[in-house]
Every structure is written in C-alpha cells, then in structure tokens.
Chain A
Amino acid sequence: MFLTKVSGQPEALHRADSLFKEGAFFEASIAYERTVYLQPESKVVHRARYKKAVAYRHLHRYEDALRELDRLPLFSIADTLKSRILYETAFNHLLLDKPEEALWNFRRLEKTREEPLHSSMIPLKILILNHNRKWEEAKGTLLSLVDSMPLRPHKKQSWKDSIKSLYDEDSLPKNYSEEKAKNLSRFIPGAGHIYTGYPWEGAASFLLNGAAIGFGIHQLWYKYYFTAYITGFGIFYKSYFGGMKRAAHLAEIARHNEMKKFNDKCSAMMMRILK
C-alpha cells in the first residue's frame, strides 16, 4: 500500500495520519518518513517528523523518538508546533527516566508559549515536577488547574483539599538515600535495610553478621586461630560489605517504588479532575 506513487505530499501525510489514527504506529512511522522523503524541503516535513516521533513513543522507541525530534530546527518552526515538539521531547525524556532533561525541556516549552499552558499539557508538567521533587510548584500547578476548571465551588474546594492532603509532608514519597542506607549498614549491619523498609531482611543481615563475628571472637578466645580468621571473620567480611551494597540497592528500589506509588495516586486524581 506504501509503494504506489503518490503525487503530492498532502496525500502522503494524510495517509500517514490515517494509519496513525488507526493505531498502526509502525506503518504510520514509515508513511511519515515517506512524506519526509517526498518533500524534503517543505515545511510539512517538520510535522511529519514530529508525528513520526509520536508514533515511535507509542511503539516504546523513546530513543528513536528523541532522535527524530532532535532533527527538527526549533528556531524556524512555528510556535504551535514548537510547543508540541518540546512537550514530546520532555515526555520522552521522562519515559526514559531522565527527569532533569524532561524538566529542562518543559521549561523551554513554557518560555516559548506566550499564552498559558493548555490544560492537556499540565498533567505531564506535574509528573515531571513530582519526579524532580518540586512539590510546592507541583501542588501550585495542580491547584491552578482545579481553579481553571468549570467546576462548582464546593467541588473545587473538595479537590483542593484532596490536593493539599496529597502533597502533605507526611504523604510525600520518601527520598531514600543510597549513601545514608550504606552508612547506616556500615555502623549497624542491617540498619540500612530497615531504613529502606525491609525490616526482616535487616534483621537477618544483623543476625548473620553478629553470628559470624561472634563465632570468630569465640574461636579466637579458644585459640582456634585459623577457624576464627577464615570462617568467622571471612564470612563476616563478605556479609558486612555485601550488606552495605545491598542496603544501597534497596534504597534505590524503595525510592523508585515510593515515587511510582505517589505518581499513580497523583495521575488518578488528575484524570478524575480533568474528566
């Protein structure tokens, strides 16, 4: 269906858009590339590349999407499309777990626009701010979103209360530090595990380290030097440093899980507000 001749670019782009609407994203990505090929000098190329990037995002090819977006010369593109490109760039960076780059692109998007952000763009901004732990700004943006919505006063107030409760200091995702977890386990084996929310693993680590060092000292006391050093201290050495590494790894997992849980709650709330 792609290999027949198409005389003008609008037809090629129209075909690509139809495929995109049908959810045939791979086929759409080829059709957009075809538009680029047919009219390399035309301004329609910018839109085709942008849409190709969106198709790639749907195909979970975020790196490829960013590569397409990077090819677009932002300085010579109309503001409306430029906003979309920056939005898409920020989105793909967030999906690639690069929240700082996502925020930087979103800031560029805000600077580009003369008018306020469209309500459909705000959820992404809030998620990016959450990932960057800019809680006050995220809360303010969400409250402004509620203010801008055509809702009854009591409903607005109810949403605002929910938002304040969501962003209450005790409800925010904990920022588990790998360094702190490691240091805690350095002083008390297992403490880092407990800090990251794995108490049973922490207790097991503490007991293993205690048993190993206890056995080592016991054997040393009774002049079993080889036994003390090789089995007691040898096992302790391995489990002590291994435990520190494990605690740091658990901190990373816990931080990720906390953020995911919080963003899931936040996304659900935004969807209900925008419904």
Chain B
Amino acid sequence: MRYWLTSAFIFLLVTAFSQEPPSTGFLRHLMDREYYKEVVYLLEQTDYDDASLARKDSINYIKGWSLYSMKALQRSAGVLKSVSRESPYYLPAHFFAAYNHAHLGQYGTAGQTLDSLRLENSNMASLRAFENAGIALLQRDYKAFEDRFNQADTSYYPIKKASDKMLDFARDLESHRKKSPVVAGAMSAIVPGAGKIYAGQTGEGISAFLTAGGLGFVTWENYHKNGWKDVKTLLFGAVFAAFYGGNIYGTVVSVEITENEFQKAYDNKILFNLHIPLRNVFN
C-alpha cells in the first residue's frame, strides 16, 4: 500500500505541472504524520471536476486510503470503487474496497466487487479466490469456501501463510457444535447454574448455584419452621422462584451470547487473515 500511495503522490506531482496544482508534497506530509482527517478535508475542498481521469483516480485513491485509515469504511469503499479500470491503482483500490465491505458485513457487495475485477495475471486471480474464500467463510458457507479456496494457488507467497490459517479456521468452525439453549435451560432447571457451566461461563454458573442454593435454603428453613402460610416463607419463596426462573432465562440468553462471542472472535481472525495478503501484495 505504501508503494502504491507513493506512486499516487508522484503521479499527482507530475500532473501538477499541467493544471492548477494541489500541493502534493503537503498531502504526503500530512499522510506521513497520520493527519488523515486533514487530508480528506483538503481533498474535499478541492474542485477537480475538470481534472483528467488519471488525476481524479489518484486523488480518489489517496482519499479512500485516508478514509480507510480513519476507519470510515463505508465511505472509503465508495471512494475506492470510483477508481477507474485505466488507473494503475485500480487493483489495490478495488481489493481494499471489497475488504471494507466484508468488514462491514456486506458480504454480497464484497463478493460482487471482487468478481467484477478485471485481473491481469494468475497471481491476482489467486488473491481474488482467496479473498472470496474468506468472505464465504465469514458467511459460514463451507461449500463455497472450499470451491473458492481450491481456485487459489496457495503456493503464491503472499497468501501462503494466511491460507494455512484460513483452512484451520474452516475446520474449527465446521467441527464446532453450537450449544443448545434448550439443553442449557433444562440443565439450569435441574441444577441452578449448571446450564451456564455447560455454556462455558463457569464463574457465573457457580455464583448462580450458590445464590439459588442460599435462597432455597432460606425458603426451606422458613417453610420448615412456619409452614407455607407464613409471610417470610412466601416472601423468600417468591424471591427464590424469581431468581430460579430468571436464572433459567439468563442461561438460555447466555448460550446465545457465548455463541455470538465465539463466532465474532472467528470473524475477526478471518478478517485479519484476509487483510495480511492485501498488505503484502499492495504495500
């Protein structure tokens, strides 16, 4: 990416002699110091409607990259995709636009962006296949992942390491068995807290067991000495029942939360591994 950005700046500098010049060196100076907001502001203030297509492409590439660095991924994707096919920045711009869409969970758009790319050689085709495989894995479409992955030449150095990891992720995800909320809820109904331990939240499970057990003992003690009709028995019985029921509900919800956390963690790993080859190829 650094190489491509440098060349974009050089291009702007060269074209500056023929038109009203943006201070390219200054933009570079700001980028080097990570003043991305300032770069975007300056480029948005500049009227380059009459500029040549090549010049517009350079500007859009720099702007898109600045927006990407500011984590404004949606805007970044839009600007990067406006880089034309004639531009030398076409490939890095569109690959990163697709990555931005994938990061935003817009998998369909990400796939379309990649599929519409006009590629120059087999290495780029491998990179596209690898990125597409990652996007399929983000959607947990293992069949599509396999198809796409097999299209990539994983001996191509920039994707070699990431490919191995991606295969591991696919295996982990495919073999992962989702915990059942019904089983967890039933377990917590039989032994309070057991469902949470089953869901992977051991600390919370023990805490729920002790609290429910304590309240159960208190209710039993009052029932044992005063019978059902005593106010204290009814009060503690109600508190116990509320906690007991709430704990079952909480267990069902916590299974969903734990599952979401698991899936999210893998999403982040996949995205990270989709990013590494892009940096390797376009840096």
Residues of A at the B interface (CB closer than 8 Å) are 1-5, 26-27, 29-30, 33-34, 37-38, 224-227, 230-231, 234
Contact = CB atoms under 8 A, between A and B. Distances in A.
A30 B22 CA distance: 14
Contacts of B23: 2-5, 34
Contacts of B236: 227, 231
Nearest to B222: A227
A6 to B, nearest CB: 8
Given A30-B41, A226-B214, A227-B236, A3 B22 contact: yes
B225 interface: yes
7 contacts: A3-B26, A4-B20, A4-B23, A30-B41, A226-B221, A230-B214, A234-B214
Nearest to A5: B21
Given A30-B38, A37-B26, A230-B217, A3 B21 contact: yes
Interface string B5-47: 0000000000000001111011001100001001001100110
B218 interface: yes
Contacts of B217: 226, 230
Contacts of B29: 33, 37
B275 interface: no
Nearest to A222: B225
A130 B62 CA distance: 49
Interface of chain A, main secondary structure? helix
A38 B29 CA distance: 10
Contacts of A227: 218, 221-222, 232, 236
A20 to B, nearest CB: 16
B217 to A, nearest CB: 4
Contacts of A224: 221-222, 225
A227 B225 CA distance: 12
A49 to B, nearest CB: 12
Contacts of B214: 226, 230, 234
Nearest to B21: A5
Nearest to B38: A30
Given A3-B45, A4-B20, A33 B38 contact: yes
A1 B215 CA distance: 72
Contacts of B25: 37
Nearest to B213: A230
Interface in B86-106: none
B47 to A, nearest CB: 10
Contact of A2 (B20, B42, B215, B232): B42
Interface residues of B, number: 24
Contact of A34 (B26, B46, B222): B26
Contacts of B45: 1-3
A124 B217 CA distance: 64
Nearest to B33: A33
Contacts, number: 56
Contacts of B221: 224-227
B210 to A, nearest CB: 10
Nearest to B46: A3
A230 B212 CA distance: 11
A41 to B, nearest CB: 14
B133 to A, nearest CB: 42
Q: Counting chain A CB atoms within 10 Å of each CB, which of B25, B35, B221, B225 scores highest?
A: B221
A231 B218 contact: yes
Given A34-B26, A226-B214, A227-B218, 18 more contacts: A1-B45, A3-B22, A3-B23, A3-B42, A4-B20, A5-B21, A27-B41, A29-B38, A30-B41, A33-B29, A33-B30, A225-B221, A226-B221, A227-B221, A230-B215, A231-B218, A231-B236, A234-B214
Nearest to A36: B29
A32 to B, nearest CB: 11
6 nearest CB pairs, A to B: A3-B22, A230-B214, A226-B217, A226-B221, A37-B29, A226-B218
A226 B214 CA distance: 7
Q: Counting chain B CB atoms within 10 Å of each CB, which of A2, A4, A234 scores highest?
A: A2
Contacts of A5: 21, 23
Contacts of A3: 21-23, 26, 42, 45-46
A230 to B, nearest CB: 4
Contacts of A37: 25-26, 29
A85 B218 CA distance: 68
Nearest to A4: B20
Contacts of A226: 214, 217-218, 220-221
A154 to B, nearest CB: 55
A272 to B, nearest CB: 40
Contacts of B222: 224, 227
A58 to B, nearest CB: 16
Contacts of B220: 226
Contacts of A29: 38
